[in-house]
Amino acid sequence: MSLKQQASQGAEVNERLAALITNSNAVRAIASAVEGTLGPKGLDTMLVDRFGEVVITNDGVTILSMMEANHPAAKMVINIAKSQQEEIGDGTTTATVMAGALVSTGVEQVSKGVPVARVIEGLKMGLQRAQQLIKEQAQPVSDINDPRIRQVALVAGRAHQDIADLVVRAAVLIGEEKLKDRAFKLSDTILAEEGAENSVFMGVIIGKERMNQQMPKDLENAKVLVIDDALQPEEIGEEALGTESGFARYLELQEEFRRNIQKIIDLGVKLVLVDRGVDDAAEEILTDAGVMVLQRVANKELRMAAEHCGARLIKRTGLKKPLEELAKYAGSAERVKSEEKLEQVWIMGGSGKPMATVLVGAATAEVVGERSRIAKDAAAAVQAAVRGGIVPGGGALELAVAREVEKMREGIKGMTAFGVDCVVEALKRPVSQIISNAGFNPLEKIADVNAAQVEQGKVSLAVNCDTGEVADMYELGVVDPALVKIHALKAAGEIAEAILRIDTIIKMRDENKDSEQDGGLEV
């Protein structure tokens, strides 16, 4: 073959792999942005916007969500990390790092001549086996007071003991049944405030102040009404208002509205939460009656308060109902108090479903966001542990699983085995980065851990990031929720498969631009 033919063939191969290599580089860049945060010795990342505002964080999904990424493959990885956050609430960095390893190793195999279809086939087989092995190693947690639950919170909470204690107390208050409810998220109960004291209580916090200082500041054994609407009279159009009948209707609606407000008072309601604005007349009447009113309450807070107080959401038209029917919509709370310094109202001891709130204090405004993220990660990890059990952390289980997946490779014929290799490398990648971030040689330490695990028959052995010695992660209290690892593998596999399947990148036609060039007429 002549040099010209060889060059032509090389160019053809390069062109065929161009999209794959481009996407792989983008994914690798995203993984590199977060891998330095892995492990107890992981460092923080500083994000700076165009106005010079700074966010310093160790949280993977925060970094990915706030960083500027224009490449479509990079955006795909960021979306899968967000999916991990939404589903489990933790493990986004692990999922991203694994996705980077799966894609880069897969591209290497393809560049050596392995068909993409075979790589994907092996990748699926390896991931399925790995997830199965992790499930088999998961130890169920039968009691929320199990000390291992606190260790889960401590590991996910980056060793912040105060936050771990707050989260565990909240989990105990809420109970196992509620934590296993997929519709409930413990992380939603977290609230961080500058100048606040760390606390956990049965109740909800509304991030609003009472409408005026004349309204009561504190309430005991208060009836609660939650209005998912504006507390204002029904409106009449300006044209109709200009007619005699229209004006009469306006007066009639005003009077009806005042009667409805009086019903709230007659019902004995002492706290009214309103989704939107409150009419001036209603504010005055309710203030005189000693009712606390909070307006423009966030919908999420409104629903949480209703659930906790045992109240049913009602529209303003529902206030027309007879008093005995209206009473069915009211809930109650043992105590309601205004925290003027924090610009909040706390509703405690509701007669509805148990609802705990974790208030995380922060010394300055700069650390409020990070303290909140840390607490939410810890809460999500605790809930995942209750739902799916725990496994040893520190990358110990991933190394053990990698060996088992590697054994599976021996029974696979053909080039599909090369896809299994991608999974083996992906499983090793997080622990390699954890060791590297701790300042040790990953190759040396991984070899030591593998040898120790095989010799002692323990899958819980990994590297103590403080000493560099091989240690039992269970004994050190380094434990992770099994669901975090299982879903991270699943998410990484999905994004890797999607990116490896992309053979060509084509820029889409801008239809708006074409329409402008055509004078806005359809052809």
Q: Do residues 415 and 482 share a domain?
A: yes
| Contact yes or no for 434/460 (Cβ under 8 A) | no
* pLDDT tens per residue across span 311-333: 999 998 899 999 999 999 999 99
Amino acid at 36: G
DSSP lists the bridge partners of residue 221 as none
**CATH number for position 111:** 1.10.560.10
Residue 475 domain flag:
yes
Number of compact structural domains in the chain: 3
What stretches of 389-415 show up as alpha helix (H) in DSSP? 396-409
Any idea what the CATH number is for the domain that residue 269 is in? 3.50.7.10
Same domain, 151 and 259: no
Return all residues near 447 (Cβ < 8 A) that are at least 6 apart. Answer: none
| 466 and 430 within one domain | yes
Here the tokens at position 325 are 């029917």
Q: 193 near 390, Cβ under 8 Å?
A: no
143, 499, 500 from 126: Cα distances, Å: 33, 17, 16
Residues 6+ apart with CB under 8 A from 151: 477, 478, 479
Q: Is residue 25 part of a domain?
A: yes
CATH code at position 179: 3.30.260
The helix-helix angle for 3-35 and 482-500 (nearest 10°) equals 150
Query: Going along 152-262, which residue ranges are E strands?
Result: 190-194, 199-206, 218-227
* C-beta of residue 201 within 8 angstroms of C-beta of residue 356: yes
- Encode the chain (523 residues) as per-residue pLDDT tens digits: 443 444 444 444 455 577 778 877 877 888 887 888 888 888 877 878 777 777 777 777 777 777 777 777 778 777 777 777 777 777 778 888 888 888 888 888 888 888 889 989 999 999 999 999 999 999 998 888 889 999 999 998 888 899 999 999 999 888 888 888 888 888 888 888 777 788 888 889 898 999 999 999 999 999 999 999 999 988 776 776 667 777 788 788 889 999 999 999 999 999 999 999 999 999 999 999 999 999 999 998 999 899 999 999 999 889 999 999 999 999 999 999 998 888 889 999 999 988 888 888 877 776 788 888 888 989 999 999 999 999 999 989 999 999 999 998 888 888 898 999 999 999 999 899 999 999 999 999 999 999 999 999 999 999 999 999 999 999 999 999 999 899 888 888 888 888 888 766 556 666 655 555 555 444 3
Q: Give Cα separations from 212 to 287, 340, 366, 490 (angstroms).
A: 8, 12, 30, 52
Q: Please indicate, yes or no, if residue 106 is contained in any of the structural domains.
A: yes
Q: What pLDDT, on a 0 to 100 scale, did the predictor assign at position 518?
A: 53
Report the pLDDT value the prediction gives residue 520, as an integer from 0 to 100: 47
> Does residue 370 fall inside a structural domain?
yes
User: In terms of domains, do 14 and 122 share one?
Assistant: yes
Measure the CA–CA gap between 212 and 218, rounded to whole angstroms: 13
Neighbours of 136 (CB within 10 A): 10
Q: Is residue 409 part of a domain?
A: yes
Q: Which residue has the tokens 């993220």?
A: 373
94 found inside a domain: yes
Q: What is the pLDDT of residues 91-102, one digit of tens each?
A: 778 888 888 888
Residues 30 and 116 in one domain: yes
DSSP H or E run through 481? strand 479-481
Tokens standing for 463?
Answer: 């590297």
Cβ distance 266 to 291 under 8 Å?
no
Please report the pLDDT score of residue 523 as a whole number.
32
Mean pLDDT across the chain: 85
Neighbours of 413 (CB within 10 A): 6
Pairing status of strand 218-227 against strand 269-274: parallel
List 358's β-bridge partners, or say none: 190, 200
Query: Which two three-digit tokens encode residue 250?
Result: 């306006």
Q: Is 57 helix (H, G, I), strand (E, B) or coil?
A: strand
Question: Running DSSP on this structure, what letter comes out for residue 292?
Answer: E
Whether residues 114 and 189 fall in one domain: no
- In this structure, the answer to whether residues 58 and 107 fall within a common structural domain is yes
Asked whether residue 211 falls in the same domain as residue 339, the answer is: yes
- Same domain, residue pair 33 and 82: yes
* Whole-number Å distance between alpha carbons of 113 and 107: 10
Is the sign of the CA dihedral 303, 306, 312, 316 positive or negative?
negative
If asked whether residues 227 and 131 sit together in one domain, one would say no
Tell me the two tokens of residue 200. 């956990």
| One domain, residues 323 and 254 | yes
User: Is there a contact between 310 and 352 (Cβ–Cβ < 8 Å)?
Assistant: yes
152 in the same domain as 102:
no
Does residue 5 form part of some domain? Answer: no
426 occurs within a structural domain: yes
Q: How far apart are CA 388 and CA 378, in angstroms?
A: 15
Residue 405 belongs to domain spanning: 10-139+394-500
CA-to-CA distance for 523 and 513, rounded, in angstroms? 14
Whole-model pTM: value is 0.75
